[in-house]
Amino acid sequence: MLEVAGREAVVSRARCLHQMDPSALDPVLDGTQFDGFDVDAALATIRIPVHLVAGNVAAGGTISQKDVRRIAGLVHRFTSRSLPSVGHFVHHLSYRCVC
């Protein structure tokens, strides 16, 4: 993460994680964070423009191109950009424009 985000971002993330209640991650770790929540139904209600920036799953990204296409079919005003050489931390990159 140091190489991608830099020291300041790593220190900030460490401070936040240190202050967080560890039980907040229980639903993520046991796979229940979306129990009772219909993601597709929620996406279909979005009426504002959405621009999704997706990294590459093979490089650590968290959303597949199959899911990008699924979301495109659900969100009415949807655009996306895929960054094939980037993993999960697309928000730490210094791009002039990713649109």
Query: pLDDT tens across 31-90, in order?
Result: 999 999 999 999 999 999 999 999 888 888 889 999 999 999 999 999 999 888 887 777
pLDDT reported for residue 93: 61
Burial of residue 86 (CB within 10 Å: 0-12, 13-18, 19+) is: buried
CA 38 from centroid of its chain's CA atoms: 18
Single pTM value for the model? 0.66
Tell me the C-alpha distance between 85 and 22, whole Å. Answer: 32
Burial of residue 93 (CB within 10 Å: 0-12, 13-18, 19+) is: middle
Identify which has the larger pLDDT, 96 or 22.
22
